[in-house]
Structure 1
Amino acid sequence: MVNPHAGEVVLTLNGERQVMKLTLGALAELEAALAADTLVSLIERFEAGQFSTRDVLALLLAGLRGGGWTGSAADLAAADIAGGPVGAARLAATLLMRAFAPAEAAE
């Protein structure tokens, strides 16, 4: 069961449900993956609809790692994501929102 109040989001990857969560370690990995970018600029890009596929993949990978997934970035890039690119972008945005929104907004 997924707990949105804990920031969890489900991603169906290659037909299997994976729980994603942006833990502190996952956020640190996300910052490293974005190099000079900041999490604030990432949030702003999603709010403005100006995000890239690189942003989506980096967010999903960080969330998957936070949920305990041990695959690589290459595994994620080659995977079948339920909902396709649009579904992946929606889930990435939901993951980001749940990580930084007050608990009552996560419902």
Structure 2
Amino acid sequence: MANRHRGEAALLVEGEALPMRLTLGALAELEQAFAVDSLPALGERFVTGRLSAGDIIRILAAGLRGAGRAIRDEDVAGLSFDGGLNGAIKAAIALLEATFGDDGEARPPQPPEA
């Protein structure tokens, strides 16, 4: 079961709940994949609500790898998601919310003010 307090979410594939987590390494991977230079820029990319199928694949794959599964983006693209496309999208959103906040708006935490 996914522990949201640890930033975890689950991806349902053929009845199996695969754990996902965006570790610091997974976030760095996404920064590179989306050609952004910071966590705030990554969060801004996600809150637009205009994610492509390729974006969803990258997010899910990074989350699966962050949780310890050795899987390539190409392998994620071929999975049979429970709920089809909607299931994949919901899992990606749940992962972003678990990582960046649970208020429905994905955004990275801001550093404390000095």
- Normalised by the length of structure 2, the TM-score is 0.76
Structure 1 counterpart of 2:98: 98
Corresponding residue number in structure 1 for 2:86 = 86
Q: Following the alignment from structure 2 to structure 1, what is the Cα–Cα distance between the partners of residues 79 and 3?
A: 24
Task: Choose 1 or 2 for highest CA Rg.
Answer: 2
- Structure 2 counterpart SS, 1:99: helix
**Are 1:64 and 2:72 matched, yes or no?**
no
Taking the aligned partners of 1:43 and 1:55, their CA distance within structure 2 comes to: 13
- Identify the residue that residue 2 of structure 1 maps to in structure 2: 2
Distance 1:79 1:87 in 2: 11
- For residues 92 and 40 of structure 1, the distance between their equivalents in structure 2, rounded to whole angstroms, comes to 18
How many Å apart are 1:65 and its aligned residue? 0.5
Q: Could you list the runs of 5+ residues in structure 1 that have no partner in the other structure?
A: none
Q: Over residues 48-91 of structure 1, what are the superposed CA-to-partner deviations in whole Å (9 max), with x where a residue is unaligned? A: 42111111111001100011111211111111111111111111
Identity %: 45
1:55/1:42 CA distance change after superposition, 3 Å: farther
More helix by share: 1
The alignment yields a C-alpha RMSD, in angstroms, of: 2.0
CA–CA distance in structure 1, aligned partners of residues 91 and 68 of structure 2: 17
The reply on whether 1:27 has 2:27 as its aligned counterpart is yes
1:15–1:80: 8 Å Cα contact kept in structure 2? no
Report the CA distance shift for 1:70/1:85 in structure 2 as closer, same or farther (over 3 A). same
Alpha-carbon spacing, 1:64–1:93, altered in 2? closer, same or farther (3 Å): same
User: Closer, same or farther in 2 for the Cα pair 1:83/1:22, shift >3 Å?
Assistant: same
Q: Which amino acid aligns with 1:86?
A: N
Q: What TM-score does the superposition give when structure 1 sets the normalisation length?
A: 0.81
Gaps of 5+ in 2: 104-114
